[in-house]
Structure 1
Amino acid sequence: MPLTIGLTGGIGSGKSTASQWFEQQRIAVVDADIVAREVVQQGQPALQEIEQAFGAWVLEKDGTLNRKALRNHIFQNKEARQVLENITHPKIRESIIHQLQMIQSPYGILVSPLLFEAQQDQLTQRTLLIDCSEATQISRASQRDQQSIEQIKMIIATQMPRTEKQKRATDIVLNDTSQELLFSQLRALHLKYLALSEVTE
């Protein structure tokens, strides 16, 4: 498996913009959010297990997962969140490992908002935190997602504190200002990762 960089950041930090930049450099990106959606699609074992654990109300009329209802439920119930994670996290991890093993680029990126919380950083050799202030997170996320400030603050509260992520990350990029500055920092790291990938081959 090639050198793998775990990329993370809180809501509104710019991690999606960063992962897209790496894709434009022809670096393979495995997105944990996409994997998380794939494992609960119709016909997947996880969807049946979720229905058994929570009840038929978690399904839409067409049999797909009612994401909004389930998300609201686990936000208000820590035990329910744990039940859901016990069902989905092992399956997500298995799929991520498989996709990382298929990477053909010099190094790979695993982008995940829960990189540290779900111990997915164990699947990587280095971690990159896209970091910004909470005020910037709230401003960006409210403009992008049409969510209320209260909802965004709730999401931030459920994620690992910014200071803890800073302690754990191998590399940190500050993304409080312009996209141009973000990309210049990513360019320097890209060259660094290319050099490291040659060493690890």
Structure 2
Amino acid sequence: MFLVGLTGGIASGKSSVLQVFQQLGCAVIDVDVIARHVVQPGYPAHQRIVEAFGPEILLENGDINRKALGDLVFKQPDRRHLLNTITHPEIQKEMMRETVKYFLRGYRYVILDIPLLFETKKLLKYLKHTVVVYCDRDTQLARLMRRNSLSREDAEARINAQLPLKDKVHLAGHVLDNSGEWSLTKRQTVLLYAELERSLEYLPLRLGILAGLACVISLLHLLARCLMAHAPA
């Protein structure tokens, strides 16, 4: 198995690209879904967030008010860093569990949707491929304002909280340009899928595990013969 890191920027179209990979049958781990899961009431991250940011960021049912929390952290780097130190370890543990599940089910690769892949750099060393979903800044800004009903100032604050997409392009192994028509982006995604499907990069780990199992089996057989040889007649 090998790992593919998919990233982009807010309103760049990453979620739509991820959906295409899912429709094609890829094993996909959506970090946004995990991030919402680990901050639910009853989980350690939920309690720590409330302690750090106060009960005013809660909804009436006790869930985290994501919009209220977002308004707090996007304009304050120190508080955004604090939130990340609370949530990222829990997210990474859940990602590892999901990855192991896919491995045991025989998948050759897993696509990890990681919004802050190049900002944190923590998972880069584990990835065989990195993919960025790109769009130009004007398009990104317009999409975000329209999608989230934000003012230009608020939208720019959210975009500025992330590494610029033009910088991520230079760091990624693959770029999917989503600045234009969606049909063009979808075609790029399908072509990348075909490339990943042809890859044999999953073989070293799989062969290594098979070799390890063969060694264990051989040792068990040897142990069994030794025990039988020394057993009383």
1:48 paired with 2:51, answer no
Structure 1 moving runs of 4+ over 3 Å: 120-123
TM-score by length of 2: 0.79
1:69 paired with 2:72, answer no
Partner SS state of residue 53, structure 1: helix
Closer, same or farther in 2 for the Cα pair 1:44/1:80, shift >3 Å?
A: same
Structure 1 distance, partners of 2:53, 2:148, is 27
Q: Of the candidates 144, 155, 158, which is equivalent to residue 152 of structure 1?
A: 155
Structure 2 distance, partners of 1:141, 1:53, is 28
For 1:137, the aligned partner's letter is Q
Closer, same or farther in 2 for the Cα pair 1:147/1:40, shift >3 Å?
A: same
Structure 2 distance, partners of 1:171, 1:76, is 30
Partner of 2:208: none
Partner of 2:128: 125
For 2:187, the aligned partner's letter is S
- Following TM superposition, by how much is the alpha carbon of 1:58 offset from its aligned partner in structure 2, in angstroms? 2.6
Q: Of the candidates 133, 137, 142, which is equivalent to residue 134 of structure 1?
A: 137
Q: Which deviates more, 135-144 or 79-88?
A: 135-144
Structure 1, residues 151-199: CA drift from partner, whole Å, max 9, x if none?
A: 2211110100223211210111111111111122112211111122x34
Partner of 1:193: 196
- Following TM superposition, by how much is the alpha carbon of 1:16 offset from its aligned partner in structure 2, in angstroms? 1.0
Instruction: Calculate the aligned-residue CA RMSD, in Å.
Output: 1.6
Structure 1, residues 79-120: CA drift from partner, whole Å, max 9, x if none?
A: 221221111111111111111221243322111221222334
Structure 1 distance, partners of 2:124, 2:35, is 16
Q: Of the candidates 106, 110, 113, which is equivalent to residue 112 of structure 2?
A: 110
Structure 2 distance, partners of 1:130, 1:182, is 9
Partner SS state of residue 175, structure 2: strand
Identity between Structure 1 and Structure 2 (%): 35
Higher relative contact order (CA 8 A, sep 6+): 1
- Following TM superposition, by how much is the alpha carbon of 1:69 offset from its aligned partner in structure 2, in angstroms? 2.1
- Following TM superposition, by how much is the alpha carbon of 1:134 offset from its aligned partner in structure 2, in angstroms? 0.5
Q: How many residues align?
A: 199
Which protein is bigger by CA-based radius of gyration? 2
CA contact (8 A) 1:173 1:182 kept: yes
Task: Could you tell me which runs of 5 or more consecutive residues in structure 1 were left unpaired when the two chains were aligned.
Answer: none
For 2:120, the aligned partner's letter is A
Partner SS state of residue 190, structure 1: helix
TM-score by length of 1: 0.91
- Following TM superposition, by how much is the alpha carbon of 1:139 offset from its aligned partner in structure 2, in angstroms? 2.2
1:180 paired with 2:183, answer yes
Structure 1, residues 40-83: CA drift from partner, whole Å, max 9, x if none?
A: 00110111111222222232232221222222111232222122
Closer, same or farther in 2 for the Cα pair 1:189/1:71, shift >3 Å?
A: same
Partner SS state of residue 4, structure 2: strand
